[in-house]
Chains A and B, each alone.
Chain A
Amino acid sequence: MNLVFALAAAVLFGTGAALLLDRDLVRVVFGVVLVSQAAVLTLIASGLARGSAPIYPLTVDSVSDPLSQAMALTAIVIGLAVTALLLALVLRVVQAYRSLELAELAGLEAERDARLERLHEREHAEEEAAAR
Chain B
Amino acid sequence: MTALALSLVVPWCAGLVIALLDGRRRVVGWAAVAALAINLGALVALAAAVLPDDPVVVTTGDWPVGVGITLRADALGVLFALLSSLALLAATVVEVLDGVRERTFPGLVVLLAAGLTGVFLTGDLFNFYVFFELAMTAGYVLATYGGGRRELGAALVFTTVNLLGTFIFLLSVSGVYHVTGTLDMSGIAARMDDVDANAAVLIAVGFFVAFSVKLGLFPFHFWLPTVYTGARPAVAAILSGGLANIGAYGLLRFGGELLPDELDLAAGALIVIGGASIVYGGVLAVSRRSASEMLAYSAIGQVGYVLVAIGVGGPVGFAAAILYTVVNALNKTLLFLTAQMRGAVVGAAFAIGALSVAGVPPAAGFVGKLELFRATANDPALIALFVLGSALSFVYAFQTYQYDFWRGERRGKRSTIPQQGVVAALALLVLAAGVWPEPLLALSHDAAELLAGGGR
List the interface of chain A (C-beta within 8 A of B).
20, 25, 28, 32, 35-36, 38-39, 42-43, 45-48, 67-68, 71, 74-75, 78, 81-82, 85-86, 89-90, 92-93, 96-97, 105, 108-109, 112, 120
Q: Determine if A39 and B170 form an interchain contact, defined as CB atoms under 8 angstroms apart.
A: yes
Is the pair A93, B160 in contact by a Cβ cutoff of 8 Å? no
Alpha-carbon distance A14/B170, docked complex (angstroms): 16
Verify B156–A38 contact, CB threshold 8 A.
no
- When the two chains form their complex, are residues B178 and A28 in contact, meaning their CB atoms are under 8 A apart? no
B177 at the interface (CB under 8 A from A): yes
Known: A74-B130, A92-B152, A97-B149. A86 touches B163 (CB 8 A): yes
Q: Are A43 and B289 in contact (CB under 8 A)?
A: no
Residues from chain B with a CB closer than 8 A to the CB of A71 are 126, 173-174, 177
| Minimum CB–CB distance for A99 against chain B, Å | 11
Residues on A with C-beta less than 8 A from B144 are 89, 92
Given A82-B159, A85-B159, A86-B159, 10 more pairs with CB closer than 8 A = A28-B160, A32-B163, A32-B164, A35-B163, A43-B177, A46-B175, A47-B178, A96-B149, A97-B149, A97-B153
User: Would you call A89 and B175 a contact (CB within 8 A)?
Assistant: no
| Shortest 3 CB-CB contacts between residues of A and residues of B | A46-B178, A46-B174, A39-B170
Contacting residues, chain A, for B312 (C-beta < 8 A): none
Asked whether any CB of chain A lies closer than 8 Å to the CB of B167, the reply is yes
Residues of B within 8 A of A20 (CB): 160, 164
Chain A min CB distance to B418 (Å) = 32
Query: Residue among B141, B160, B167, B178 with the most chain A CB within 10 A?
Result: B167
Q: Say how far A34's CB is from chain B's closest CB, in angstroms.
A: 10
| CB contact under 8 A between A93 and B153, given known A32-B160, A81-B137, A85-B137 | yes
On B, residues with C-beta under 8 Å from A are: 126, 129-130, 133, 137, 140-141, 144, 148-150, 152-153, 155-156, 159-160, 163-164, 167-168, 170-171, 173-175, 177-178, 181, 183, 226, 289
Q: A124 vs B153: C-alpha distance in the bound complex, in angstroms?
A: 30
Known contacts A92-B152, A96-B149, A97-B149; is-contact A43 B174 (Cβ 8 Å) = yes
Contacts A82-B133, A92-B144; A42 near B174 (Cβ below 8 A)? yes
List 24 A-B pairs, Cβ < 8 Å.
A32-B167, A35-B163, A35-B164, A39-B167, A42-B170, A42-B175, A45-B174, A67-B177, A68-B177, A71-B126, A71-B173, A71-B174, A71-B177, A74-B126, A78-B130, A78-B133, A82-B140, A89-B140, A89-B152, A96-B149, A97-B153, A105-B153, A109-B153, A109-B226
> Min CB distance, B115 to chain A, in Å?
12
Of A48, A90, A93, A97, the residue contacting B181 (CB under 8 A) is A48
Chain B residues with Cβ below 8 Å from A74 are 126, 130
A-B contact count (CB 8 A): 89
Within the complex, the shortest CB–CB distance from A108 to chain B, in Å, comes to 8
Please name the residue on chain B nearest to A79 by beta carbon.
B167
- B54 CB → nearest A CB, Å: 28
Chain B CB within 10 Å, residue with most, of A81, A92, A97:
A92
* Separation of A108 and B129 alpha carbons in the complex (Å): 36
Once bound together, how far apart are the Cα atoms of A46 and B129, in whole Å?
Answer: 16
B152 touches A38 (CB 8 A): no
Q: Are A48 and B178 in contact (CB under 8 A)?
A: yes
**A32-B160, A93-B156 as given contacts; A42 in contact with B289, CB under 8 Å:** no
Identity of the chain A residue whose Cβ is nearest the Cβ of B155 in the assembled complex: A89
Q: How far is the CA of A96 from the CA of B174 in the complex (A)?
A: 39
Please name all residues of chain A whose beta carbon is closer than 8 Å to the beta carbon of B167 when the two chains form the complex.
Answer: 32, 35-36, 38-39
Inter-chain CA distance A129–B312, complex, in Å, is: 50
- Minimum CB–CB distance for B107 against chain A, Å: 15
